[in-house]
Amino acid sequence: MALQVFTAVTGASWESELVGALDREDHGVTVVRRCVDVADLLAAATTGTGQAALLSAELRRLDGAAVARLTAAGIAVVGLVEPGDTRAADRLRQLGVVRVLPADAPAEEIARALRDAVSGGPVGGHDVGDPRSALPVLGLPPEESTRPTGRGRVVAVWGPTGAPGRTTVAVGLADEAARLEVSTLLVDADVYGGVVAQVLGLLDESPGVAAAARQAAAGTLDVAALARLAWAVDPHLRVLTGLARADRWPELRPQAVAVVLEEARRLAALTVVDCGFCLEEDEELSFDTAAPRRNGATLTVLEEADEVLCVSGADPVALQRTVRALAELREVLPDVEPVVVVNQLRRGPVPGDAREEIAGALSRFAGREVRAFLPADRRATDASLAAGRTLAEVAPASALRTGLRTLAAQLSGATEPGGRRRRRSR
């Protein structure tokens, strides 16, 4: 049976000729519906009458969410661009369309691309544009995505509920890495209300992360645009501020977040992401591109990151939350191997040698090693919060700060200087 295809190539001069040629000749392809716009295409997709969609880059309102919805509906997507228009081709790839052909390609070749897209065959050699701009697309097998090498690392700072100190650790790591002269981007991706701007004393009127996600969904985000949306806090540190209001979480669509991280890797050697926690009490934890959930952005960050830090508190209640969060993470993203950073270590809540007891408990109950212990130092963190400045600025000699610096050096591959660091002016 011929492959049933929807087309949505309206607005392009070559549309009717192409559709005619596809249909007329025997290419094993039947055009079952010529859609006039994205809404029409999505509506057609729900009928279950087509296996593939052929769409043009000019299609109005085409965004990453629409492509994700088509993919989730089991529709393979092939893009067409004006011959030689590499920007349009790159934009389509950013939106998640892996196969892109010039519109003047022979009908036979377009038909083959459609069949390959459905069967998951190789991405053809007639693509336009820069194939490195192909992004890992959620829901597609890994061989369909190309990852450029030699790019910046992404470290996700995550953890259970109960304020174990994710933001303190994320901000501290980013600041320390920048002080070690590693170009660093700090991203506030906490979908339960980000506070990084406030913690750093930035007067932020509009969340940079929301603007970046918006541009990513529109296919217009590149390194320069991302740099414009971030605060340059010092020569090595940029900050993409977060959603101050928790009810704005739908603005962080998972696919858009993946694109933001891709560009972040091009912008900075190290990207540190302050994530929310993952618990959703009222619903199951899952990836679902068709019906986005609050966890989607967080899970995307955890999946895309090179390293996931799970920040845990150091008392029995906090440890129990950590064990539980790690078990949930293993269920949803079994390939992610987080390492634990135990924060707020102090004498008292855990009897005996706290480090030993905590490390033993996390290894027994969660099967995870502790990468670092960071001491509780309320005096240092309060001074930091009061001044809207980082620990390096207000408590440079504190053990909490030096612990963060050592961890930052490990994560970024920078060498930690033996002596005290010079003060950096902002």
Interacting residue ranges for Mg ion, rule: CB under 5 A: 166-167
Kindly state the smallest distance separating residue 372's Cβ from Mg ion, in Å.
Answer: 18
Pick what 381 binds: Mg ion, ligand ADP, none; C-beta below 5 to 8 Å, kind-dependent: ligand ADP
Residue 270 identity (one-letter amino acid): L
Cα 106 to the center of its chain, rounded Å: 37
Kindly state the smallest distance separating residue 195's Cβ from Mg ion, in Å.
Answer: 6
Of the pair 7, 167, the CB lying nearest Mg ion is at 167
Q: Which of 165, 207, 219, 338 binds ligand ADP (CB under 6 A)?
A: 165
Using rule CB under 6 A, residue 32 touches ligand ADP: no
Q: How many residues bind ligand ADP (CB under 6 A)?
A: 16
Interaction mask 379-408, ligand ADP, x per CB under 6 A: --x---x--------------x--------
Q: Which of 56, 168, 184, 398 binds ligand ADP (CB under 6 A)?
A: 168
Interaction mask 276-315, ligand ADP, x per CB under 6 A: ----------------------------------------
Which span (122-130, 156-164, 221-229, 230-238) binds ligand ADP, by CB under 6 A? Answer: 156-164
Using rule CB under 6 A, residue 378 touches ligand ADP: yes
Which runs of consecutive H residues, i.e. helices, occur in 25-183?
A: 38-45, 64-72, 86-94, 107-119, 166-179
Of the pair 166, 401, the CB lying nearest Mg ion is at 166
Of the pair 35, 408, the CB lying nearest Mg ion is at 408
Q: Tokens representing 206? A: 């509009």
The helix/strand count (H/E) of the chain reads as 16, 13
Give the 3-state secondary structure of residue 16.
helix
**Residue environment code for 293-328, b if the CB has 16+ CB neighbours within 10 A, otherwise e:** bbbbbbbbbbbbbebbbbbbbbbeebbbbbbebbeb
Using rule CB under 6 A, residue 164 touches ligand ADP: yes
Of the pair 6, 249, the CB lying nearest Mg ion is at 249
Q: Which of 344, 390, 402, 412 binds ligand ADP (CB under 6 A)?
A: 344
Alpha carbons 157 and 173: distance in angstroms, whole number? 10
Which span (75-83, 225-233, 354-362, 371-379) binds ligand ADP, by CB under 6 A? Answer: 371-379
**Residue environment code for 354-374, b if the CB has 16+ CB neighbours within 10 A, otherwise e:** beeebbebbeeebebebbbbb
Alpha carbons 311 and 164: distance in angstroms, whole number? 6
Pick what 254 binds: ligand ADP, Mg ion, none; C-beta below 5 to 8 Å, kind-dependent: none
Other CB atoms closer than 10 Å to residue 387's CB: what's the count?
11
Q: What backbone torsions phi and psi does residue 231 show, to the nearest 5 degrees?
A: -75, 135
Q: Which of 51, 94, 167, 255 binds ligand ADP (CB under 6 A)?
A: 167
Pick what 344 binds: ligand ADP, Mg ion, none; C-beta below 5 to 8 Å, kind-dependent: ligand ADP
Q: Tokens representing 94? A: 């950013």
Contact call for residues 188 and 209 (beta carbons, < 8 A): yes
Q: Tokens representing 260? A: 């933001």
The closest of 279, 285, 341, 331 to 308, measured between CA atoms, is 341
Of the pair 167, 312, the CB lying nearest Mg ion is at 167
Give the 3-state secondary structure of residue 366.
helix
Of the pair 159, 208, the CB lying nearest ligand ADP is at 159
- List, edge to edge, every strand of the sheet that includes 184-189: 231-234, 237-240, 184-189, 270-275, 153-158, 307-312, 339-345, 370-375
Of the pair 155, 400, the CB lying nearest ligand ADP is at 400
Kindly state the smallest distance separating residue 309's Cβ from Mg ion, in Å.
Answer: 13
Q: Tokens representing 382? A: 């309060």
Applying CB under 6 A, which residues contact ligand ADP?
Answer: 159, 163-168, 343-344, 374, 376-378, 381, 385, 400
